[in-house]
């Protein structure tokens, strides 16, 4: 007996040791030694992710430790354990990485080196994104709600495009559509990539940086980037390549000094974890977005929630990504400050779902002026603020404060119609659209469906479109020459902008001048393209005079190649070539690349083929445009062996599973509320219950207490998971965000999540079960002990799974609680303990017993405890019960008679209580194995239901 009673002692000690281990580990992470990254000391020091779990590289090796990582990364990369570099002090301090000391100046050689390294193995293949006649409507109870109508536009490589408009204008809707994330609403129109309708691989070549990131607070910056690297980089990459990549993107975003810092934030359960600043978080978002060198980066409100300096810092990084890295950056943005507004090349303005402007940033003011809405710098301030006021028709705008404004929906419609008409007229709408419809019949010919121009309402003000002998006015933002010239001129070596522009206050003087004298159209011919000389050693180009890299003329064949692309692009965009052949002719060679070429020229990226073995911009040998380049570092033979499709696919299911397991284990083991807290709660509740029912004997009263224990035990297992409802809802949020980004297969996530949490859950429950079992002194035989632990584990897993299911199928936590509580109540009522099924007045209700996992568990516990057992009753009834009998049966004098009392107090030495009769009393006739089968089946059904709920979540839209 003694051995069984003491079983709980080692279990209790082990439970506390387990909790203490994880608690100390977490405390070491949170309260790091001064001067070190707060993830470093407690991380265990192992980064298992970027290298696919095969390496034991110390966390924080990152860029500095990665083999082959350029030494010049020190621009933004401090040694992991050292103090931050001077250039990256403070939370959002002087930006490092791509920007260098003066973000407006010609990039320093180090930032170019970072960019070059960033594109060495994953060639950035620029995409020209165009959208035509986009619309979106919702069917609501009040009828059809049109939220987007006839929206056109395009975004070119190396360009920053601002999506602007008042709240509810449709910016997010538009961005969701063009980024291929939109899954609800009635959508119309077509999105073109490099002149043909968007293909299924589009998502892999673009990145979407949501407004609110989706990082686990308990992961370090390096681990977070490694996680994305492991899921997004080609499966053919070796661990060293992935590690180097992680170091590079962190260096590029100026985050190297934070590599070992926890991301931080609110843990599920309410504990606040110190971590990155808002600006650093945003930069980490961007870093994870660009890890696979996406051609287009979509940013949803990148500056929201940031202070002015952090916002500027983030946008400077994005500007560097576009202008120096050749990425296309599309950002929805609310009233940017002047300096941020000045960073954008183009702007698209929406209001109430209508397109009112798309074109060069500088062209916006003249365009609206041409409609009769003049801009006055003194009165209106920054043009970006003014245009938001101008197009917002939801409020009264007195002319003396606002000047002439668009005030009514009709005026807004007219302004939109005027813009769309001019846009289509300039692009030769008919030819272009017909050509595309032909070239991409997958669109169902939708592109050509917009009404003829004649059907559009006339603009309320004369447009300056026909001012030049029938040709579009050169000042008009959509003038092809002006537009082309903008991009072509950007291919020239960049000059530091004027001070006024650097401050962002560029519109007022420039457009005041523009109003006085129309600018002459810029020259069409290509300016000479130049690139820095590729260094012989593949390293940094030597600095030329004034600190700039020396520039040499681009080889004639490269100029010809650029010219060909420009010409082809001109055909596509202006409808000159039209048609299937023209559109498809350039497929796989990268669409409009002049901006990217400018970036390449700026940073010498184009020449990296000579220095680092990379290929051309946009090269894609098979022309399908959907795979990465082979790693440049590989030998020609290896590159050939790797092929294009087989070697550059994203990691397979097993790798995803392994990576997700790694993340789940981090999430579980680094959340003190999750791992240590859970174990302590289980252990202490077991001790409390055990003390109340300590060392039960075998009298009739003890028998009643044993039954109570068998009822309490499952009740606690039903209730305990509620403490962690926040974890279930948090899991859902992480999953939904990752699913929207198509980071992994839902099945890989589900399997990893299930397997990762299983051992912890089982340990907690078994500890509880055996502590209580031992303290209460339940049946001391091996089979009942094991059966009690196993039934407990199954019931707890079922209860937890119900919560996970409830969190998955309901839109918010309150509803999830309601669903789960309803289930728990039915379980308790149908436990067969408080009221037997046979005793129910409404017997038909007892059919609910089949959904009561607790009822089955109670049966199992009872079978294990009582079947085949008996107690001796030779001692008779206890004296207190005897004394109670006359009170309980006041009109039955027989109970007080000496004969009856003699039988009850001394029933004879052979008196036994058959414990099996208890099972009969409760109507339990199942064998124990059947209870296990039922509980396992119950759990399996719940898993299937939850998995399908998660599949449904993956299809939902997420903002």
Query: Distance of alpha carbon 137 from its chain centroid, rounded?
Result: 26
Here the tokens at position 799 are 């209860």
For residue 341, the SS3 value is: helix
Nearer to ligand ATP, 169 or 253 (CB): 169
For residue 300, the minimal CB distance to ligand ATP (Å) is: 8
Tokens of 449: 């469906």
Cβ closest to ligand ATP, residue 169 vs residue 465: 169
Q: Where are the alpha helices (DSSP H) in 290-408?
A: 308-323, 338-341, 364-370, 377-380, 383-391, 399-402
Least distance CB 416 / ligand ATP (angstroms): 15
Q: Which is nearer to ligand ATP, 147 or 804 (CB)?
A: 147
Euclidean distance between CA atoms 419 and 150, whole angstroms: 11
* Spatial distance between the Cα atoms of 135 and 147, rounded to a whole number of angstroms: 8
Q: How far is the CB of 412 from ligand ATP (least distance, A)?
A: 14
Query: Buried b vs exposed e over 12-45: b needs ≥16 C-beta within 10 Å?
Result: beebbebbeebbebbebbbebeeebbbbbbbbee
Return the C-alpha torsion angle 166, 167, 170, 175, nearest 10.
Answer: 100
Give the nearest distance from C-beta 923 to ligand ATP in angstroms.
52
CB distance 588 to 620 below 8 Å: yes
User: Whose CA is closest to 94, among 274, 263, 316?
Assistant: 316
Kindly state the smallest distance separating residue 71's Cβ from ligand ATP, in Å: 44
**CB 386 → ligand ATP: shortest distance, Å?**
18
Radius of gyration of the chain (CA): 35
Q: What are phi and psi of 780, to 5 degrees?
A: -95, 70
Q: How far is the CB of 67 from ligand ATP (least distance, A)?
A: 44
| Spatial contact of 202 and 295, defined as CB atoms under 8 Å apart | no
Name which of 138 and 309 has its Cβ closer to ligand ATP: 138
Q: Which lies closer to ligand ATP via its Cβ, residue 147 or residue 290?
A: 147
* 23 vs 146, beta carbon nearer ligand ATP: 146
Least distance to ligand ATP from the beta carbon of 167, Å?
A: 3
Judged by CB, which is closer to ligand ATP: 168, or 535?
A: 168
Residue placing its CB nearer to ligand ATP in the complex, 52 or 135: 135
Least gap, CB of 305 to ligand ATP (angstroms): 13
Q: Which C-beta is closer to ligand ATP: that of 181 or that of 571? A: 181
C-alpha separations of 927 from 713, 815, 864, 867, 915 in Å: 20, 37, 10, 10, 15
Q: Could you give the CA distance from residue 249 to residue 227 in angstroms, rounded to a whole number?
A: 13
Kindly state the smallest distance separating residue 210's Cβ from ligand ATP, in Å: 12
Tell me phi and psi for residue 881, to 5 degrees: -70, -40
Q: Which residues contact residue 334 at a Cβ distance below 8 angstroms, ignoring those fewer than 6 apart?
A: 164, 167, 301, 303, 304, 388
Min dist CB 184 to ligand ATP, Å, is 5
Of the pair 149, 156, the CB lying nearest ligand ATP is at 149
Q: Rounded to the nearest whole angstrom, what is the least distance from the CB of residue 955 to ligand ATP in the complex?
A: 14
CB of 191 to ligand ATP, least distance (A): 16
- Nearest C-alpha neighbor of 209 from the set 739, 959, 731: 959
Q: How far is the CB of 211 from ligand ATP (least distance, A)?
A: 8
In whole angstroms, how close is the CB of 285 to ligand ATP at the nearest point? 17
Q: How far is the CB of 301 from ligand ATP (least distance, A)?
A: 7
Closest CA to 299 of 171, 168, 157, 167: 171
Looking at the Cβ atoms of 167 and 842, the one nearer to ligand ATP is 167
- Number of other CB atoms surrounding residue 103 within 10 Å: 21
Q: Which is nearer to ligand ATP, 143 or 909 (CB)?
A: 143
Nearer to ligand ATP, 185 or 448 (CB): 185
Smallest Cα–Cα separation from 374: which of 334, 402, 342?
402
Which residue(s) pair with 530 in the sheet? 553
DSSP per residue, 924-958: ----HHHHHHHHHHHHHHHHHHHHHHHHHHHHS--
Please identify, using beta-carbon distances, which residue of 340 and 757 lies nearer to ligand ATP: 340
List of residues contacting ligand ATP (CB under 6 A): 138, 140, 145, 147, 165, 167-173, 184
What are the beta bridge partners of residue 330?
Answer: 161, 298
604 and 112 Cβ atoms separated by less than 8 Å: yes
Q: Answer for the pair 48, 666: CB distance below 8 angstroms, yes or no.
A: no
User: Would you call 239 helix, strand, or coil by DSSP?
Assistant: helix
CA-based nearest residue to 721, from 689, 688, 687, 768: 768
Nearer of residues 334 and 650 to ligand ATP, judged by Cβ: 334
Q: In the complex with ligand ATP, which residue's Cβ is closer, 146 or 751?
A: 146
User: CA–CA separation, 553 vs 127, rounded Å?
Assistant: 25
Is the torsion defined by CA of 806, 807, 813, 817 positive or negative?
positive
Q: Which two tokens stand for residue 667?
A: 């999430």
Does residue 144 come out as left (phi exceeding 0), alpha (psi in the -120 to 50 range) or beta? beta
């Amino acid at each position: 007996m003694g051995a069984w009673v003491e079983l709980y002692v080692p279990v209790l000690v082990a439970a506390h040791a387990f909790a203490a281990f994880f608690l100390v580990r977490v405390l070491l992470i949170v309260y790091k030694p001064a001067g070190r990254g707060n993830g470093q000391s407690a991380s265990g020091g192992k980064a298992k992710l970027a290298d696919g779990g095969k390496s034991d590289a110390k966390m924080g090796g990152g860029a500095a430790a990665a083999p082959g990582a350029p030494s010049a990364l020190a621009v933004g990369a401090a040694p992991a354990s050292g103090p931050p570099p001077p250039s990256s002090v403070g939370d959002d301090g002087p930006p490092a990485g791509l920007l260098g000391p003066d973000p407006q100046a010609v990039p320093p050689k180090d930032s170019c080196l970072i960019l070059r390294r960033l594109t060495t193995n994953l060639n950035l293949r620029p995409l020209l994104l165009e959208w035509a006649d986009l619309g979106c409507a919702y069917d609501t109870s009040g009828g059809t709600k049109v939220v987007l109508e006839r929206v056109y536009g395009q975004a070119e490589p190396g360009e920053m495009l601002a999506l602007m408009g008042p709240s509810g204008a449709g910016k997010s809707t538009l961005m969701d559509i063009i980024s291929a994330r939109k899954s609800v609403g009635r959508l119309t129109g077509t999105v073109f990539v490099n002149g043909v309708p968007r293909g299924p691989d589009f998502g892999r070549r673009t990145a979407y940086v949501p407004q609110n990131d989706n990082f686990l607070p308990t992961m370090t910056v390096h681990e977070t980037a490694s996680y994305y690297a492991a899921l997004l980089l080609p499966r053919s990459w070796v661990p060293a390549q992935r590690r180097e990549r992680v170091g590079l993107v962190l260096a590029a975003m100026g985050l190297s000094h934070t590599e070992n810092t926890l991301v931080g934030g609110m843990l599920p359960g309410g504990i606040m974890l110190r971590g990155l600043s808002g600006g650093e978080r945003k930069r980490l978002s961007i870093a994870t977005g660009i890890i696979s060198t996406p051609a287009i980066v979509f940013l949803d409100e990148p500056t929201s929630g940031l202070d002015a300096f952090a916002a500027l810092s983030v946008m400077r990084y994005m500007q560097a990504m576009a202008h120096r890295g050749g990425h296309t950056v599309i950002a929805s943005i609310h009233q940017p400050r002047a300096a941020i507004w000045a960073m954008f090349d183009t702007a698209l303005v929406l209001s109430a779902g209508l397109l009112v402007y798309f074109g060069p940033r500088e062209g916006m003011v003249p365009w609206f002026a041409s409609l009769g809405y003049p801009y006055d710098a003194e009165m209106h301030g920054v043009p970006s603020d003014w245009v938001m006021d101008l197009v917002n028709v939801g409020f009264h705008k007195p002319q003396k404060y606002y000047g002439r404004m668009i005030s009514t929906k009709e005026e807004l419609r007219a302004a939109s119609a005027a813009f769309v008409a001019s846009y289509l007229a300039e692009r030769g709408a008919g030819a272009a659209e017909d050509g595309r419809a032909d070239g991409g019949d997958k669109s169902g010919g939708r592109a050509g469906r917009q009404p003829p121009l004649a059907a559009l309402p006339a603009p309320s003000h004369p447009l300056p479109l026909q001012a030049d002998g029938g040709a579009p006015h050169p000042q008009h933002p959509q003038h092809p020459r002006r537009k082309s010239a903008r991009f072509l001129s950007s291919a020239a070596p960049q000059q530091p902008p004027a001070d006024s522009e650097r401050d962002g206050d560029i519109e007022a003087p420039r457009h005041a001048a523009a109003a006085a004298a129309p600018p002459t159209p810029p020259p069409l011919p290509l300016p000479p393209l130049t690139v820095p000389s590729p260094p012989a050693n593949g390293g940094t180009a030597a600095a030329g005079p004034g600190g700039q890299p020396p520039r040499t003329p681009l080889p004639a064949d490269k100029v010809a190649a650029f010219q060909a692309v420009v010409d082809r692009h001109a055909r596509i965009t202006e409808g000159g070539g039209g048609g299937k052949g023209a559109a498809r002719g350039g497929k796989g060679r990268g669409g409009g690349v002049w901006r990217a070429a400018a970036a390449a020229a700026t940073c010498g990226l184009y020449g990296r083929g000579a220095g680092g073995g990379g290929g051309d911009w946009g090269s894609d040998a098979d022309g399908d445009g959907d795979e990465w380049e082979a790693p440049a570092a590989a030998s020609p033979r290896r590159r050939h062996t790797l092929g294009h499709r087989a070697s550059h696919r994203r990691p397979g299911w097993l790798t995803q599973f392994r990576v997700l397991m790694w993340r789940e284990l981090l999430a579980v083991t680094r959340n003190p509320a999750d791992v240590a807290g859970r174990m302590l709660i289980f252990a202490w509740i077991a001790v409390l219950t055990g003390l109340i029912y300590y060392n039960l004997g075998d009298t009739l009263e003890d028998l009643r207490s044993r039954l109570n224990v068998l009822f309490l035990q499952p009740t606690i297992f039903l209730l305990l998971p509620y403490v962690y409802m926040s974890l279930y809802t948090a899991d859902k949020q992480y999953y939904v965000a990752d699913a929207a980004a198509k980071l992994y297969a839902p099945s890989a996530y589900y399997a990893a999540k299930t397997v990762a949490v299983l051992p912890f859950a089982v340990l907690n429950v078994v500890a509880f079960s055996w502590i209580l079992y031992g303290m209460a002194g339940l049946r001391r035989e091996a089979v009942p002990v094991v059966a009690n632990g196993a039934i407990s584990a199954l019931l707890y897993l079922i209860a937890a799974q119900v919560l996970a299911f409830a969190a998955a199928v309901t839109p918010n936590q309150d509803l999830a609680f309601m669903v789960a509580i309803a289930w728990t109540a039915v379980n308790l009522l149908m436990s067969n303990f408080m009221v037997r099924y046979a005793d129910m007045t409404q017997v038909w209700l007892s059919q609910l017993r089949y959904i009561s996992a607790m009822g089955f568990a109670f049966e199992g516990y009872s079978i294990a405890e009582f079947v085949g057992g008996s107690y001796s009753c030779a001692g008779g009834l206890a004296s207190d019960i005897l004394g109670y009998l006359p009170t309980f049966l006041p009109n039955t004098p027989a109970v007080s008679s000496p004969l009856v009392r003699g039988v009850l107090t001394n029933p004879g030495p052979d008196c036994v209580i058959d414990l099996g009769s208890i099972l009969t009393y409760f109507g339990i006739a199942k064998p124990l194995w059947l209870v296990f089968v039922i509980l396992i089946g119950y759990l399996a059904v719940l898993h299937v239901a939850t998995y399908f709920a998660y599949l449904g979540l993956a299809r939902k839209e997420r903002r």
